[in-house]
Amino acid sequence: MDAVVTAGGIPQPGEPLYDYTRGQSKALLDVAGKPMIQWVLDALSAARSVENVVVMGLGEDTGVSCPKVRAWVPNQGEMLENIRHGVIRVIGLNPATRHVLLVSSDIPAITGEMVDWVVDAAMQSDDDVYYNVIERSVMEKRYPGSKRSFTRLKDIDVCGGDMNVVRAKTATGNDAMWSRIIAARKNVFKQAALIGYDTLILLALRMITLDQAVKTAASRLGITGRAIVCPYAEVGMDVDKPHQLELVREDMARRGRGA
């Protein structure tokens, strides 16, 4: 499977990580002696399931490297546009591509083994979208103090993962769906309408299971989807705030020391 790494995020003044980045890419923040994205690229290099990699939002002059990278594509602005352009580039490199692995550049603790697990778990079926979630107990045991946000469902409390799989044609060909998603990105009421207010009420009352929530949301968007409960907290340990950056820095430094 080919992978798209999204690395276009540049924190703006007033945002949590601006004092650390000062107008530079978040992906290049130092984590235990390496740019954060380098850890991600190292994991993709080690993964047997990943063939080619496209990096969105950085140029090859940034000093990071990966033998599997086939293209460096400029930042397209919004996350969804970066994903779409990345998948289009993958298809250009490999027209036979069916599914693409989407990986955020701010999950530096992932390993090749975790990447392979995500790909293998997804390919047990033939859906349009596969969304990884991490159970609260798994995240809080691995990263106490991470202060992640959790969605409380009838059967499980979860947070989202940042390594997911999408069908290539779904990412590039369903213009109506993507137009709805992009139009809703800054409007909470439009976002709610995407999955239905009835579903939101069931979520609020914890009367819907994870599987039911995903199937309902996918159906409203006209696609098929499956939630994957991932056993690796690292897949959901993205760096959005200073305390999360420091937590990951300390954790990765211990890994480097073999602790």
Residue type, 215: K
Cβ distance 50 to 115 under 8 Å? Answer: yes
Helices (H), 8-164: 18-21, 36-46, 79-93, 112-122, 136-142
Q: Per-residue pLDDT tens for 76-119?
A: 888 888 999 999 999 999 999 999 999 999 999 999 999 999 99
Joined together, the tokens standing for residue 201 give 């009420």
The one-character DSSP state at 45 is: H
Joined together, the tokens standing for residue 129 give 């979208």
Model confidence at 198, in pLDDT bands (50, 70, 90)? low
Q: Residue 211 is part of which domain span?
A: 2-257
Residue 172 has φ and ψ, to the nearest 5°, of -115, -20
Q: Which residue has the higher pLDDT, 195 or 122?
A: 122
Total-model pTM = 0.90
Residue 218 has what pLDDT? 82
Q: Per-residue pLDDT tens for 242-254?
A: 999 999 999 999 8
Distance CA(91)–CA(98), nearest Å, equals 9
How many CB atoms sit inside 10 A of residue 249's CB? Answer: 18
Instruction: Count how many domains the chain has.
Output: 1
Mean pLDDT of the chain: 88
Give the torsion through C-alpha atoms of 62, 67, 68, 71, to 10 deg: 40
Cβ distance 202 to 119 under 8 Å? Answer: no
Which of 18-22, 81-85, 131-135, 138-142 is the most confident on average? 138-142
Residue 54 has φ and ψ, to the nearest 5°, of -115, 130
Provide the CATH number for the domain around residue 144: 3.90.550.10
Q: What sign for the dihedral angle of Cα 192, 175, 208, 153?
A: negative
Give the torsion through C-alpha atoms of 230, 235, 236, 242, to 10 deg: 160
